[in-house]
Structure 1
Amino acid sequence: MILRLFAAAVLVYAFGFLAFAVSLPKPVSGQRTDAVIVLTGGPGRIARGLEVVDEGLAEQMFVSGVDPEVTPAEFASEFDVPRRTMECCVKLGYLAVDTRSNAGEAAQWLKEHDYTSVRLVTTDWHMARAASEFAGTLPPQIDVLKDAVPSHPNLPTLFLEYNKLLAAAISQGLPD
């Protein structure tokens, strides 16, 4: 009986991982939101956020998880952001150190600006967990559009992220 339960749990885990690995989200084009939130940590994320702003699909871009030692001028130089865009449309967040604190930092910024819709930009393999953390932090009246940056993750990256997603789901389900 215990062996059957263990085998069933392993099968559920394996099929869940397979579903996670083959159903990574895609980029979204053409839909407008009030703002775009970009989580640092992966290639192409900031470029995608800037593209959204340049195309007029969001008024503001908030970059969560910026290293506290990075100045706005250094950020602009590193990512080739025009001064005008940096002044009007890009805000840097220095408080977040992980996905959960990204959600908290972004929620505070969104609340301060009374935005009701946001585009979340992160890497495709990271989107499920990031969206889950944001759903647990943002007020329900804020619509979140998931805009994934395509990547080619290796098996260890997918495995680690799937386990982090499961851990986040379990911790969100526990009572406070």
Structure 2
Amino acid sequence: MPLTFSSRDRRPWRRRLLFWAVVLALLAWTVGLIGFAYGLPDEVGAPSERTDAIVVLTGGSQRLETGLDLLARGMAGKLFVSGVHRGVDAAELLHVAQQEPGRLECCIVIDYNADDTIGNARETARWVSAHGVGSIRLVTSAYHMPRSLLEFEAALPNVRILSHPVFPPNVKQEGWYRYPGTAALFAVEYTKYLLARLRLTIERVGREILEEGEPQT
């Protein structure tokens, strides 16, 4: 007579399976977080290379100041500042960055529409397309750079992007695990990075499926 198992008999196995699945997922996430943290940029690449434009993503210290300094040094002809609060103009940005309005004010373009990194990339792509920009220097915090590059490379596939990370003094990249604030920041950013990769992968696969389904002429 064949052995049969009731749903009550199978319940402990399901719980164990779920438990080990959660443990393995957390382990994989932790290993990935460590790799993410140690893989963050610790210096600026190609610091002397000029680009058509500089793009600054607001939301972190030293970003705007760095972008304005690059513009003042002639590293690009235009500065595109993405994610600015409505009502703030170029003169006020210069004042906040402790620079006098003058020759730089005419070279600053402000985007008020972006609310997040996805919006930053999309609004920048619109501006780049409208003005024939072929290369940009992307300025944001080092911990934010991996996710920013993901979004920008997807939105601007034909534009050369140079990363220009900034390093806020309150973010301790070296020995990050010893600082709860930095560790929590990296954990949140790494999770957002994973979600961005997943979303972009799904979008890419969806496009490929649609393209394959289109009738050939």
Normalising by structure 2, what TM-score? Answer: 0.74
Distance in 2 of aligned mates of 1:163 and 1:20: 10
Deviating more after overlay: 118-127 vs 19-28: 19-28
Query: Please, what is the CA RMSD of the aligned residues?
Result: 1.8
Q: Does 1:121 find its partner at 2:139?
A: yes
> 1:174 Cα deviation (Å)?
1.3
Within-5 A mapping of 1:23-102: 23-25=39-41, 26-28=43-45, 29-79=47-97, 80-87=99-106, 89-102=107-120
Q: Answer whether contact 1:27 1:147 (CA < 8 A) is retained.
A: yes
> 1:78 Cα deviation (Å)?
1.6
Distance in 2 of aligned mates of 1:18 and 1:121: 24
Distance in 1 of aligned mates of 2:82 and 2:44: 19
Runs of 4+ in 1 over 2 A off after TM superposition: 1-12
User: How many positions carry a matched residue from both structures?
Assistant: 174
> 1:8 Cα deviation (Å)?
4.1
Name the structure 1 match of 2:197. 169
Q: Does 1:13 find its partner at 2:32?
A: no
Distance in 2 of aligned mates of 1:83 and 1:12: 52
Percent of aligned pairs with the same amino acid: 35
Deviating more after overlay: 158-167 vs 145-154: 145-154
Q: Answer whether contact 1:123 1:148 (CA < 8 A) is retained.
A: yes
Distance in 1 of aligned mates of 2:91 and 2:66: 19
Report the AA paired with residue 105 of structure 1: E
CA displacement 1:104-128 (0-9 Å, x = unmatched)? 1111111111111111000000001
Secondary structure of the 1:105 match is: helix
Q: Answer whether contact 2:90 2:108 (CA < 8 A) is retained.
A: no
Name the structure 2 match of 1:110. 128
Distance in 2 of aligned mates of 1:136 and 1:81: 36
Q: Answer whether contact 1:76 1:83 (CA < 8 A) is retained.
A: no
> 1:23 Cα deviation (Å)?
1.9
Report the AA paired with residue 161 of structure 2: V
Q: Greater Rg, structure 1 or structure 2?
A: 2
Q: Answer whether contact 1:27 1:150 (CA < 8 A) is retained.
A: no
Greater relative contact order (Cα < 8 A, sep 6+)? 1
Specify whether residues 171 and 77 from structure 1 end up closer, same or farther in structure 2 by C-alpha distance, changes over 3 A only. same
Distance in 1 of aligned mates of 2:109 and 2:163: 20
Can you give the 5+ residue segments of structure 1 that lack an aligned partner in the other structure?
A: none
